[in-house]
Structure formats: structure tokens, C-alpha cells
Structure 1
């Protein structure tokens, strides 16, 4: 026992061997007690209820705590955290002034009807309470309650009756079977989370009366077959997640979701069509239909020459594309598309197009100039991507904002048909022709434009393109720079730009993590100084979204990063210094909590091509002979 009259804070969190704390009756000024993760704590002194200035009590993960003394007289207490106190069976007795109760993971079986006395309560969280049964009707008397979270409480079977002041209702993975018409009373509700409610069968049409609703989440409600008619406009609804539901179609009244920004329909395997009114979603930014294998009917005014496999295996085509004018990201992964519509180029705000594992896709049309990321992993039937050269040209000539780089990534991993030796002249690979066009675009751009841009691309292949000046086996290369190239702080017109390439061997490599390549460049001047330029670029990021995938072949990577080179020489290179040599080193890596070298990948070949605005016309043609440098 000590004189604790001036003590305001007790912070003993993670005191693994703490069993009890002393009487605190003399600590009349105590405001905060933090005993989180004191796993052996068995009891608390009864004097807690006399601490009139106590505002915050944190007992998270006190797993052996079985009894909490009455805190009814602790009138200043506003926050009580009992999360994961798994041996706590009784709802705590607290002052009516408490504003936040966190009771996740406790063994509480019921909320007493006296809960209505907590007139100041704003947030009540009882997630992962496996024993908790349905709530008392008196909970609707909590007029101040704004957030109620009952996620992963499997014995909650009925939709709770709440005060109209509730703004966030989380009922994920509960046993609720329906959303009743009485939900229309929740006029201030902004978030309704019913994800993984696998018994949910129906949602009342009264949902359209929730004018404040911003997020509605029904992911993995696997018994939900019908989405309700939206009988009036919902201007504020921004996010709607219907992924993994049993929906066969969407109502035409979807057009009333005039403020919708994101729609997820991933893995809706029963979905066969989208409504004709779908094109009226003018505010839609993100559309995800990944894994909708049976989606065979598309609106006439949405896509042209696009569809999924019908029962006969034939792809059904439709007509025009006028809607979705705000679309920024489109994920068609895992669908049975054979072609994309030529009118897709009208999506002038589309930035990201994901076509992962569209195994029937054969070719790509002209794509919108706004596109900065194209993911065509595992499009094993893809044989024609001639339109990509125009996309590179559009990226390099981007005039959105002066000196703002436009990053373009086009990824064609495991698209083996692209490397077949057909087309044009005999023996000329498709990719070599494509790379030849890219060379011309880069040369013209670098000579004429002061803008700063970047692009990366990846194709199956084991050879560095013919037009690269310098090639080497292995992961490093040293080159001699032309004598006329030097850096003048007032003019960069004579300083080189670099296009680099690497052939990476993927043997038994699974891409479950982010993959990147780091390229380090060392410049050596006549004075011997050697500034270091390092450029890392992520080639693809899986994030577990589409599962792990085996890569068992070589792939070629190209990188052009003019903006990085300019920034480097402007800040680090010596003024009026002549650089005579440059060395390049390539490192493949993966992200596992931090970047580390990828031991299952090997850089087999690498190459460098130099670009200069001072190049003569006679020098801009692809070299007829390779220059191999060790």
C-alpha cells in the first residue's frame, strides 16, 4: 500500500506475470488504467468504482479475468475495453455515462434489458461473441448509439431493432435470414455490413428508403438469390459488394443507384446477365466481375463483341458502348471472353484493365489512352496485341500535366502464343516486330519530348530484343558511353536515357507475393566518381486475390524510366562532368514483410539501349550487329 493521491495513470500492459493490483482507494485522481495483455490477471480491486475521475479502463486480452467489479459509481468512465477477455461471462455493470464498450471475444451470453440505461453509449462492439444470443428489445432505446458491431456472433438470428440514430451496423457472419421492412426506420444508417451471412435469403425493398446509406456489403451471402428492387434513387450509396452471392440477375432498377462508385460481383457464378439499364451508372469508378463464368448476356449499350461462353461454347456478341463514362478500373478476370469490344477505347477514364486468366481471349483491340495498367496474366489463347504499341505511344506523349510521369505497365505473363514465329516475314517472331515498333516510338519520343515518363512490360521470351545496343549473359552488364555525352546542369539534351531489359528464368516459382526487379546503374566519369542510380519497379502484385500460380518459363522484362534518370542527374551528377562508363545490375525480389532476393528466379540475360536527343538520323535505326559486353 502506498500513498497514490497524485497518481493519474497506471500503464502495465504486457505485464505477463501480473496477477493482481493493490487497492486504489487513495488514488482519487486516477484517470487511465491500461492493463492490456496482462494474461495472468485474476481480479481487480472493488475500489475501482470509487475512482470518480477514471475515464479509460483497458483490459484487452486479460484472458484469466472472470469477474469485473461494479463500475456504476465511476461516473467519469467513458471507455471500457474488455476485448478477448474470454472467461468473462457477465455483461459489465457500468455508469450510464460510458460512451464506448468493447466486448469482442468475451463469453457473454446475453445483454440485459437494463442496457437501455446507458443513455450516453455511442459505440458497442460484441464481435466474435460465440455465446451471445439475440439482443433485447430495449436496445432500441439507446438513442445515442451510433455503431453496433456483432460480426462473427453466430447465435444472432434476428435483425436487431435499433434507434433511428444508428449510423453503422455490422452483422457479418451472423445467422440472420432476412432484412425486414422495418429497416426503413434507420434513416441515418451509413454502413450496413451483412457479409458472410450464409443463411440470408432476402432483403426488403425498403432498403431504398435508407437515404444516408453509403456502403452495403453482402459478400458471400451464398443463399441470396434475389437483389431487391431499388424503387427510388439512392444518391449516397458508394460501395455495393455482391460477390459470392447466388444472384442470377440484377434488377433494372439498379439505375437508381446514381451515386454508385464501386460494384463488386466477383465469383457470382449463377449470374447470367446484367440489366439493360446498367449503362446509366454514370458515377461508377470500379467494376469487378472476376470469376463470373456464366455471365453471357451483356447490355446492348455496354459492350460490343464481348461476352462469355454460352452453353454451346459460342460467345454471344452485343452492340454499342456509351455508358460507364466514369469507369476507372475494370476486372474481367476468369471470364470466358473471346474478344473485347473495339468501343472499349471510348472509356476515356479507364486506368486499369485486369484480364487475368481469360483463357479464351484471342486479341486486344485499341485501348483507351488513359490506361496505365494492363494485366493479362494467363491469357493462354492471346495471340495478337499489336494495339499495345499505340498504347505505349499514347503513354509517352501524355500531356495531362507538364513534367508529370505517366506510368504504364502491360503484363503478359504465361501468354505463350505471343511468342510464336508467325506473321510478316518468315522467321520473324511476333514479339520482335512489336519491340521494333516500341523502339521507334521511344526514339522519336526521346528526341522530341522533354516530358518524363515510365513504362514496364513483361512477355514470355528468352531473348533480348534485337534493337538493344548492349547485351550480356547473366545479371550484370558494363557499357562504354559515347564521348560526346556529358552532363551540364543547364542542359540535359546530351545526357543519355536508358532502356533496360532482363530475361528472368522462373523455375518452380509460385507468384503468391509481390514480384519486382531492381536495376542499379553505376556511372563512372573521367574523374573516377561513381554515382549510384537505383530503380525498383513492381512487375506484378498478387495479394492473394486470384490465388497462387506457377510460372515455369522464361520471361522478358523491359523498363524505360526517363523521369528517374533526369531526377538522378539533376540532383547527384557533377556539373559539366563527362561520363565514360556505366554498369547495370539486376536483382529479382519478392515481398515477404520486406523486400528480399527471390531465390527461385534467375536473371539469365540483360540488355541496355541508349537514347539521346542528339542522335543523328543515321544512328536511329536498330543496330545490325549486337555489341556483347561482359
Structure 2
């Protein structure tokens, strides 16, 4: 309806207040038919041919407040489709301009007579700019500057009057070796400087919440970073730093740190207990030390391709995403005897990936399996308590666990085992708890499944002594990033899997049968090319109103209690209630 109202303003596009149709914009710009009626122009350059602009194209558009020349499609061959006749300079820009977004702008500088006093956002990615303007400019209303991929940009003009800038993005500007003075920008919350030859850590205002210095030649993060008390996100990936300063632990708001690709970092960084996500992919870290157990908020730890990583001594108690894929020197992984599973954690996808870690010793493999099973049991216990208390909503997402590592054997912890893709578990007539649950183990041949996104399918059936059956179907999405150069003898993977649908109320079930298969989300390969060679099932029972569980053979499995429920007396004796008993 709004578009129709604008079209009714005039039969001539140049006399309408807004232009967005590629055909109308093309006609007005090509023929220089703009008037004072136009207040906004938006052109998706993916949908138009090259237009040669008159240097005076904007002179009549004195009320123009919005210019948006952009590309909406990624992956296409992009170029400037708005060119100036004979490479002349643009004579003017409207002084009423609030929003200037011009991708691939051909200008080397903004017009000298342009007064950007009313300008709020300036976005000139992939432009031909060498500098923005000369001298001091009144930039009191400017809040956003985006100068990504400006290869010719050599300097950013004086921004001393830009006290209200909130977001400054300067990325992939290969000739920009120095940033403007920033400390006076009291409103600046986001500074993104990536792939620029900036060698010195910038002086920045203390109100910053997001700082990105990715792929710059910076070698050191100064201790003065402790002044950034509001900093929430820090990205130093691909830099030459050797570690973070010890003062970083004082930043209580900092919850996400990216140090991936910092190959000079050899020790695990000392970070605040409030960090939620830590990215250490492709670093030189040699060990995950035992003190990481104090990182009670850390839920995501990425350590792909850390070729020097040899040992994992401990893991944070709330970690639900660990990717240590490609850590080819990793030998030792310790047993984790505590895991804090909140109601939220029990409804999320939890992934522990050790794919392509071919040097794991047997103790490490045993501990990885035990850790995945313990995690699954914690989730089952949390869900059972919620179901018992009536606090669980059926519309809520149910939790999953997926653990992966190289191997070709099913652990003895799985009491039911088969040498093909199906298995039957004889449950017996007696139940040991209100709920019955299952953890799955598969050995999968991935010779022809490199770099695919796979899906593990499970169809299982529960049958009681009366012959009544319940059927279930569960899928686990499994992203694959395997290196195609891996020898075929290492192509097998062991998967340990759990899903909240594998917790069911015990109803005198006597038998559980399972059938497994692997699918490709994108149909790139035949299902016959990916085989489930072996499978195993572990059965355990959960009482929804207590902290104890029992395995299928009656052995009690005791889970960690929440810390707030621990009494002082428990500190004086062996904390058995914190340790998992072997089934």
C-alpha cells in the first residue's frame, strides 16, 4: 500500500519522494532527472546495468536524506555499476543527507563542499576512497562508519568532532597503517579493525563492548585493556600475540574471546570465570590445565587443529561444546567427575568431538566414553526430575549428546553389543526406577564421507510383557570436517549418542530393539557408502525424585549434587556423591 501511495505522487519517477524500483532509479540517474521532491533512493545494483552519472547528479535533489546503493547477493562478481562520466569528481552531495550507503563507490574522496553535519550513517564498503574529507568536519550526528575492503584508503580524516560514533568498522584496508584518534568517542561501543596493517594496539574509549583486531600484525595486548570494564567480545584471532595479559581476568563482562590462529600462544590463556565461549583453534596450546575447572561459565571451547595439544587434564563443569578435532598430538584425556546440568543445559545440543585425534591412548579413549556417558546420565536425571515435578513443557527442545573419536571398538561399558547396524536389548521383567534410559555407541565407516554433513538415524521400539509396543525415531545432525588426506586405516569413528527421547517412563518393558543408519543431508553420496559396522546400547534407570540411578544390571550410579546443596560436613570426607561408579 505504501508503494502505491508513493507512485500516485507523480507519473514521473523523478518527482516522487522515494525511489526503490530498479527501473525507476535507472531512468532518473541515467537521465539526470532528479528533483527536490526526492527524499530517498535505494538501488540493488544486482538488478541493474552500469549507469554513467553526471557529476551534478545530486544538485537538484536538495532534500535527499537517504542514499542506498548496495548489493544484496553474495558470491556474484561485483563491481561499481554507478560510474562518473569521464572519471570526473562528484560536484556535491545534499546537505540534508542522513544515510549514505554506497558499495563500490567510485569517488576518491567525498565532495569538498559537502557538509556532513546531519549525516548519521556512512557505509562505503569496497569503495575507491583514498580519504574521506579534508580538514575538520562537524560530525555531531554521525553514529556509524563502515569502510570495509577499501584497498586504496590511506588515512581516515580527522574525527575529533565525531563524539557520538557508536560503531566503527575498518576492515581489509591494506594501505591503512594508522587509526585516527579514538579516545574521545565516549559513545563508541563497537570497534572492528580486521586485516589492516595496524601494528600497535589502539588507544580506545573505555565504554567499548566489542573489539575486533583480527588478522592484524599486533604482537601484544597491553595491560591497559583492564580499563575496558564493559568489554563483552574480544577477537584477536590471526594476530602475533603470545598470550593475553593477566589483567584480562578483571574484565567481568568479557564472555567471548577469539584467539584462533594465534600460533604464538603456547599456554592456555588465563581468562575471567565469566567467559562463556573461548576459541583457540589452530593455536600452539600444549595442555588444557586442571585449573580450567574454575571456569564455571565456559560452555563452548573450540580447539580444532591444535597440533601441539598433548593433554586435557580437566574440563569446565558446564562445558557443553568441545571441538578438539585434528589435535594429532593429543594423547591424554582425564576422567571428568563433575558436570553441572541445569534445566537449560539439559535441553541443548552437546557436542564433544575428538575426530582425527589418532594418538589417543587407551585410557584417554576410556575416559572420553565415560565422560560422554556421565554427561548423558546427568541430562537424563535432570529431565526425569522435571517430568516428575511437572515442570517440563513438551514444546521445549530436548537435549542431545554427540561424542566422536577415532576407533573401531565398542566399549565394554555398553552391555549389549552387535556387529551390525541393529541390536536387541533384553530388559527383563523387573524395573529399577521410574524411568528407563539408553546411551548408544556406534562404529561408523567413513571412507567415502569426507567433508559432509551427516545425520545419524535411530529407530527403536520398546515392547512390554503384554506384547504392546512403542516406536520412536531420533536423528542426530553430525557435521563432518575430516581431512581427505587421512589414510583409510583411520576412517572408522566411534560415536557415543544420547537424546532426551531415550528417556521413557518404565512400563514393564521387556525388550528394546534398535536399528541405525547414516544419511547425507545433501544427498551427495549413497547410503551404502556409509556403514554402521557395530553398535552397542547401555541401559540405566532413573528415579525422578532422587539423585541416584541404576544401570541395567542393578549397579547404582551416583550423580553430582548442585554445589549450593553441599554441606560443610561433606568437605571432611570422601565426596562419593560426586563420582560416577563404573557400571
**TM-score if structure 2 supplies the norm length?**
0.74
Residue of structure 2 in register with 1:147 after alignment: 99
Query: Given the alignment of the two structures, is residue 301 of structure 1 paired with residue 243 of structure 2, yes or no?
Result: no
Is the CA contact 2:266–2:284 (under 8 Å) kept in the aligned structure 1?
no
How many angstroms apart in 1 are the aligned matches of 2:341 and 2:380? 13
Aligned to 2:144: 191
Q: Relative to 1, partners in 2 of residues 1:498 and 1:339: Cα closer, same or farther, differing over 3 Å?
A: same
Equivalent position of 1:258 in the other structure: 207
Q: Which runs of 5+ in 1 are unaligned?
A: 1-7, 11-29, 34-50, 55-69, 422-428, 487-492, 571-575, 623-630
Matched, 1:619 2:554: yes
Equivalent residue for 2:119?
A: 166
CA distance in 2, matches of 1:83, 1:587: 53
- Equivalent position of 1:557 in the other structure: 495
Structure 1 residue aligned with 2:282: 334
Q: For 1:340 and 1:184, how far apart are their aligned partners in 2?
A: 51
- From the superposition, tell whether residues 529 and 244 of structure 1 become closer, same or farther in structure 2 (CA, over 3 Å): farther
Offset, 1:499: 0.7
The answer for the alignment partner of 1:580 in structure 2 is 510
Q: CA deviation at 1:467?
A: 0.4
The equivalent position to 2:69 in structure 1, one of 92, 113, 126, is 126
Matches of 1:515 and 1:126, distance apart in 2: 40
Q: How does 1:31-42 map to 2 (within 5 A)?
A: none
Q: Structure 1 stretch 366-375 or stretch 409-418: which is displaced more?
A: 366-375
Q: 1:79 aligns with which of 19, 31, 34?
A: 19
Please name the residue that 1:482 is paired with.
428
Counterpart of 2:359 (choices 414, 417, 427) is 417
Give secondary structure in 2 for the equivalent of 1:164: helix
In structure 1, what is the equivalent of residue 472 of structure 2? 533
Tell me how far apart the structure 2 counterparts of residues 524 and 385 of structure 1 sit (CA, whole Å).
Answer: 38
Partner residue, 2:435: 495
Q: TM-score, normalised by structure 1?
A: 0.69
Task: Report if the CA contact (8 A) 2:129-2:153 is conserved.
Answer: yes
Secondary structure, aligned partner of 2:30: coil
CA distance in 1, matches of 2:179, 2:34: 42
Change (3 A) 1:524 1:301: same
User: May I ask how many residue pairs the two structures share in their alignment?
Assistant: 513
Q: Where do residues 422-437 of structure 1 align in structure 2 (5 Å cutoff)?
A: 429-436=363-370
Structure 2 residue ranges without an equivalent (≥5): 71-78, 250-257, 387-397, 544-548, 558-583
Q: Residues 321-470 of structure 1 correspond to what in structure 2 (within 5 A)?
A: 321=270, 326-340=274-288, 344-386=292-334, 389-390=336-337, 393-394=338-339, 397-399=340-342, 405-418=347-360, 420-421=361-362, 429-436=363-370, 439=373, 450=385, 454-470=400-416
SS at match of 1:435: helix
Change (3 A) 1:267 1:531: farther
Task: Report the Cα offset of residue 613 of structure 1.
Answer: 2.4
Q: What CA distance in whole angstroms lies between the structure 2 residues aligned with 1:408 and 1:121? A: 52
How much does 1:366 deviate? 3.3
Partner of 1:37: none
Provide Cα deviations, 1:462-481, integer angstroms capped at 9, x if missing partner.
11221002122233323233
User: Is 1:278 aligned to 2:229, yes or no?
Assistant: no
Match of 1:39 in 2: none
Counterparts in 2 of 1:404 and 1:298: CA distance versus 1, 3 Å: closer
Q: What do the CA deviations read for 1:184-221 (whole angstroms, capped 9, x no partner)?
A: 6333333322111122233356279342423x322322
Moved more, 552-561 or 464-473: 552-561
CA distance in 1 between counterparts of 2:379 and 2:346 reads 15
Question: Which residue in 2 is equivalent to 1:490?
Answer: none
